[in-house]
């Protein structure tokens, strides 16, 4: 499951199926990448009828003669065995709104991608991911999470730092899912 964020208007558009991204990359690869939709009237016109609900959501964000930048974030990446939650703030305690957080698992040889999420207006983020995103050969029970953080400026995400946060609380749900609560993550 993915979510769309209007990066220019700083607003949430809603959830979409990953298949929409895959289909549109085949139809119009110049206007969509794994992290950004370059939304124009031309792109909107190419969206097939089977995606009419998403098309109508996007239509409200199209601006005549302008490209609108729509961020794509993971809500759930390869399952939901694990969930991470927190609030991204700067050193002065201000929420870092509409920043991209790439969650990674630290490994001795090669780090694993857990997913990417865009913080909301209050700096909050939530990401679910499956064990297979990080557990090579089922050797790891839990990920060693760290974040790469990017800011949105000039129609592009730019890296601004990385942080290895402390887990404030770890909860196992009745369904056996593990939730890592990071609380405030300071960058």
Whether the predicted model's global pTM rises above the 0.95 cut: no
Strand residues in 56-135 grouped as ranges (E): 68-74, 76-77, 82-89, 100-105, 112-118, 124-129
Q: Determine how many CB atoms are found less than 10 A away from the CB of residue 17.
A: 12
Mean pLDDT score, 6-22: 90
> How far apart are the C-alpha atoms of 178 and 95, rounded to whole Å?
26
3-state secondary structure of 143: coil
First vs last Cα of the chain: how many Å apart? 27
Dump pLDDT digits (tens) for 45-104: 999 999 999 999 999 999 888 999 999 988 878 788 999 999 999 999 999 999 999 999
> How far apart are the C-alpha atoms of 175 and 172, rounded to whole Å?
8
Q: Determine how many CB atoms are found less than 10 A away from the CB of residue 108.
A: 5
Are 169 and 181 in contact, with CB atoms under 8 Å apart? yes
Q: Which residues does 15 contact at the CB level (< 8 Å), separation at least 6? A: 1, 2, 3, 4, 75
Average of per-residue pLDDT values in the chain: 92
Does the pLDDT of residue 148 top 90, yes or no?
yes
> How far apart are the C-alpha atoms of 183 and 186, rounded to whole Å?
10
3-state secondary structure of 187: coil
What domains can be seen in the chain, in order of their start residue?
2-73 (no CATH), 75-186 (2.60.40)
- Tell me what percent of the residues of the chain surpass a pLDDT of 70: 98
Does the pLDDT of residue 135 top 80, yes or no?
no
């Amino acid at each position: 499951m993915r979510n769309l964020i209007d990066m220019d208007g700083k607003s949430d558009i809603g959830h979409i199926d990953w298949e929409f991204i895959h289909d549109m990359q085949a139809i119009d690869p110049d206007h969509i990448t794994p992290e950004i939709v370059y939304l124009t009237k031309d792109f909107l016109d190419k969206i097939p009828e089977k995606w009419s609900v998403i098309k109508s959501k996007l239509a409200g964000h199209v601006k005549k003669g302008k490209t609108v930048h729509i961020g794509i974030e993971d809500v759930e990446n390869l399952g939901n065995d694990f969930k991470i939650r927190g609030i991204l703030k700067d050193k002065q305690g201000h929420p870092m709104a509409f920043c991209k957080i790439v969650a990674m698992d630290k490994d001795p040889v090669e780090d694993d991608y857990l997913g990417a999420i865009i913080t909301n207006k209050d700096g909050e983020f939530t990401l679910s991911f499956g064990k297979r995103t990080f557990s090579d050969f089922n050797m790891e029970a839990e990920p060693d999470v760290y974040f790469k953080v990017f800011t949105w400026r000039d129609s592009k995400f730019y890296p601004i730092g990385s942080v290895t946060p402390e887990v404030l609380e770890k909860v196992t749900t009745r369904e056996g899912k593990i939730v890592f609560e990071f609380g405030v993550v300071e960058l």
